[in-house]
Amino acid sequence: MLTYQQTLEFLYHLEIERMDLKLERVAEALRLCGSPQQRFAAIHVAGTNGKGSTATFLHSMLRTAGYRVGLFTSPHLIDFCERIRLGPRWITEQEVIDGVAEIRAVVRPARIQLTPFEMMTVLAFQAFARTNMQIAVVEVGLGGRLDSTNVLLPLVSVITSIGLDHQAYLGNTEQEIAYEKGGIIKPTIPVAIGQVSPESRAVLLNLAAERNSPAYLFNREFAIHESPPDMIAYSGLHWRIPHLQLGLRGQFQYRNAATALAALELIQPTWPVSVAQAEQGLRTAYWPGRVEVVSHSPLVILDGAHNPQALETLQSELPALVGGRRVKLLFAVMRDKDWRAMIPMLTQLASEVVVTRVQQARAEDPEQLRAAFAPYCPVRTVADAPEACRQLVAAAQPDEAIVVAGSLFLVGEVYSLFSPTVMTTRGTETLEEKC
């Protein structure tokens, strides 16, 4: 039997030379494993940005209502087990070991070569079924149409946003990307669509019409609006919430919360949730590494913004958070991201930049980043991400703030410097106990 680390090494070494997106492999693997995806209800969430937060809101609201709820998201910050939530806990190391071993024993004789994410998808669905989850909130890994999670037949589909990301696989325009993400829209199954451009909206509405899928749009069937004094209200299909209070920081999270609320309304009354339970679930939701203040002295803000659309959101939130402080930025990014488009935006935020590399094969060379930043602002390279963060914290002045952005992998590598106990892979401890 493999150890936990050996199991993860096996998973990550399933990488194939060129990603071959198709559903047949994972569908057959699930069939051979007894079709675990048929033993729980599901909500399927896609989008360029905001899908993890929206999925977290849904998971929290359904749990508050008393359901046994699974959650599958990616990537993780610190440990693989964070990707699969089973009610209040993460999957355990032993459950990962046993689950992967069982899947390998089934697919190897059938000569099915799963990609890492396909294997993780089967593992998650298997864990949800085995632990008797009533419903699972499942986040798409890449795109939607050919993502391995798209074997699901959900209660409702959710598309949070459309932006330019993963163009090598999804297309070079918002319309092409909208088509790929709209691939999760299923015949006759309703879809909740967050804030998207008119061009993307047209693509998604056409797909929904072709599939006779009722479409519910942000700022049409559901919306948020200012409610004095200084409050944000939600109005939806049936629910009216005069004062939204969220456990996640940032004005943009109100849009994600609204999309989650709309999705929840769409499964009423089959899956009863009261407005009070929904409100409590929004207040107690927790999703680390997204516009998160992890230190006040000095002020340190972590955000996984990894594409121009996400960076625009961070850019709009920072002024209120930093309160006039000068910003020093720690930055690393994956080379397949549109990071050159992010440079001018980042240099509007930061007076100084430190570039580094994370421990990922896809990580961009820090020297490439340094050369791109150099014409705009002072920049230096520190090879080790945690060491770079330590240096910035040690040298920080009272009138300075430190922002860590560019990749969730970067956030994960520095996270334990500030909150060493917030993450745990032990399934006997709940997330709520650690926060």
The per-residue pLDDT for 250 is 85
Is there a single domain that holds both residue 52 and residue 189?
Answer: yes
The per-residue pLDDT for 164 is 65
| Tens digits of residue pLDDT in 355-409 | 999 988 889 999 999 999 999 999 999 999 999 999 999 999 999 999 999 999 9
Which of the listed residues 269, 288, 307 is the one where a domain comes to its end?
288
Number of domains in the chain: 2
Residue 401, H or E segment: strand 400-405
The per-residue pLDDT for 430 is 34
- What percent of the chain is predicted at pLDDT more than 70? 92
| Packing angle, helices 24-32 and 93-107, rounded to 10 | 100
Question: How many other CB atoms are there within 10 angstroms of residue 112's CB atom?
Answer: 16
Which of the listed residues 288, 314, 346 is the one where a domain comes to its end?
288
Q: Are strands 400-405 and 231-235 parallel, antiparallel or unpaired?
A: unpaired
Taking CA 15 as the corner, what is the angle to CA 14 and CA 20, rounded to the nearest 5 degrees? 115
Is there a single domain that holds both residue 326 and residue 183?
Answer: no
Is there a single domain that holds both residue 197 and residue 84?
Answer: yes
The per-residue pLDDT for 50 is 92
Q: Residue 363 is part of which domain span?
A: 292-415
The per-residue pLDDT for 142 is 86
Q: What gap in Å lies between CA 142 and CA 169, rounded to an integer?
A: 9
404 falls within a domain: yes
According to DSSP, residue 273 is labeled -
Owner of token pair 């890449």: 142
- Place 305 in a pLDDT band, splitting at 50, 70 and 90: confident
Is there a single domain that holds both residue 99 and residue 186?
Answer: yes
Q: Mean pLDDT over residues 290-309, rounded?
A: 90
Amino acid sitting at position 72:
F
Least confident stretch, 326-330, 363-367, 421-425: 421-425
Is there a single domain that holds both residue 120 and residue 136?
Answer: yes
Look up the CATH number of the domain holding residue 220: 3.40.1190.10
155 falls within a domain: yes
Owner of token pair 């930049």: 353
**Residues 6+ away with beta carbon under 8 Å from 255:** 50, 194, 195, 218, 224
433 falls within a domain: no
Is there a single domain that holds both residue 282 and residue 299?
Answer: no
Is there a single domain that holds both residue 127 and residue 260?
Answer: yes
Q: What gap in Å lies between CA 192 and CA 263, rounded to an integer?
A: 6
88 falls within a domain: yes
421 falls within a domain: no
Q: Mean pLDDT over residues 181-188, rounded?
A: 97
Judge whether residue 69 has pLDDT over 50: yes
- DSSP secondary structure string, 239-250? -EESS---SS-S
Which of the listed residues 247, 264, 288 is the one where a domain comes to its end?
288
68 falls within a domain: yes
Is there a single domain that holds both residue 153 and residue 63?
Answer: yes
Is there a single domain that holds both residue 260 and residue 349?
Answer: no
Supply 16's token pair.
């194939």
Judge whether residue 263 has pLDDT over 80: yes
Residue 180: CA atoms inside 13 Å, Cβ hemisphere, count? Answer: 27
pTM equals 0.89
341 falls within a domain: yes
Q: Buried b / exposed e across 319-334, counting CB within 10 Å, b at 16+?
A: eebbeebebbbbbbbb
Distances from the Cα of 185 to the Cα of 107, 133, 245, 260, 278, angstroms: 29, 23, 30, 16, 25
231 has which bridge partners? 227
Is there a single domain that holds both residue 122 and residue 250?
Answer: yes
403 has which bridge partners? 301, 329
Is there a single domain that holds both residue 270 and residue 311?
Answer: no
Look up the CATH number of the domain holding residue 312: 3.90.190.20
| Tens digits of residue pLDDT in 189-215 | 999 999 999 999 999 999 999 999 999
Q: In this structure, what are the phi and psi dihedrals at residue 331, rounded to the nearest 5 degrees?
A: -135, 135
Residue 383, H or E segment: strand 379-384
Question: How many other CB atoms are there within 10 angstroms of residue 271's CB atom?
Answer: 17
Is there a single domain that holds both residue 149 and residue 248?
Answer: yes
Please tell me whether the peptide bond between 229 and the residue prior to it is cis, using omega within 30 degrees of 0: yes
